Amino acid sequence: MQRLILFLGFTLILVITSCKQEQQKMELESKFIVTSPIQKDTTIYKSYVCQIKAISHIEVRSMEKGYLQNIYADEGQFVKKGQLLFKIAPMIYQAELQKAQANVSFAEIEYQNTKSLADSSIVSKNELALAKATLDKEKAELALAQAHLSFTEIRAPFDGYVGRLMERLGSLIEEGALLTTLSDNNKMWVYFNVPESEYLDYTSQSKKENQKKVKLKMANNIIFDQIGVVETIEADFNNETGNIAFRATFDNPKHILRHGETGSIQMPIYLDNVIMIPQIATFDILDKKYVYVVDEKNILNSRQITVGYEMPHMYVVMNGLNTGDKILLEGLGKVKNSEKIEYEFEPCETALSKLNNLHAE
């Protein structure tokens, strides 16, 4: 009997202890986390789709008609300035050069003979002038023939990468035919379009030292390792799109970027003394954003806010809050407007640190 009493007493103690722990747990769970907005300077990045172009990008075309006798460079090959790329069969142009050389020799003899006769007053000075003009004409024809022959050798005008070969060996090509392209990728121009409102924001901040520096996110979502500089803005807006074109220049020492690539420009926007809150502290009603503000009586009041910019885990709030407000951070789906709550305060920096660590995991 004594053992039974001891057993029942021990069981009662366990039940009471368990109930107290459960009550403490429920009280702890019923407390919500509340924070306050922070106010500080920050930088956000606006993203714009861009087109990447080589500063020096040309079409290599034939300046003469003829058979393509040799191709000295392959597609994608790096070539140096002056390097031979193509050769057109030169036989016809060599013959024309020889003919022009013979005509010059003949005209030179005629001129010398006429000069001797003119010095002896046998022929008039007009005939001497005519012989001189004929010689000059034949020399000009010789220079033209030399130029035509030189055009049968097509050389690289600068260092660069050869594009697609448009003609094959032995093809009969016409004057002006496209043979390939050549791109110097040491420096790249990156074009992107900016809406009018954001262009005005940019011009209002353009006096800041770093405002013209931009980043480039490549197609694989990796940030290019060189910083670009906005150098020019086009003169006119596109009336159909409401955008204006910007051009940034990037050094490309490793030749990673190629002509015709796409990506996105990351342009910084410097915000001074703005109010920010965690994104998880907001909820949406009909495309409008709200927060729960806790008053001095611990009662929740929903309040509409205006979000200006979005950052990782944070919103920049333009209207609706100040740093003295207390807002509900977690459990927004468990409460309703005008409800009284118990809460624990957590600084916004601490909440943001937890969010960053959570997403890093």
Burial (CB count <10 Å: 0-12, 13-18, 19+), residue 80: exposed
Which residues make Cβ contacts (< 8 Å) with residue 117, sequence separation at least 6?
A: 123, 127
Residue type, 167: E
Domain range list for the chain: 31-41+273-360, 46-55+184-272, 63-87+153-176, 90-151
Q: Note the CATH architecture for domain 90-151.
A: Orthogonal Bundle (1.10)
Whole-Å CA distances, 78 to 68, 139, 250: 21, 39, 20
Fold of 63-87+153-176: OB fold (Dihydrolipoamide Acetyltransferase, E2P) (2.40.50)
| Percentage of residues in the chain having pLDDT higher than 70 | 88
Assess contact for 18 and 11: CB atoms under 8 A: no
- Cα–Cα distance for residue pair 180/186, rounded to 1 Å: 19
Q: Which is more confident, 312 or 25?
A: 312
- pLDDT tens string 148-180: 999 999 999 999 999 999 999 999 999 999 999
Class of domain 46-55+184-272: mainly beta
Q: Which is more confident, 273 or 10?
A: 273
Assess contact for 189 and 90: CB atoms under 8 A: no
- Domain covering 31-41+273-360 assigned CATH 2.40.420.20 in the classification: yes
Question: What pLDDT is recorded for position 221?
Answer: 93
- pLDDT tens string 303-360: 999 998 888 889 999 999 999 999 999 888 889 999 999 999 998 888 777 766 655 4
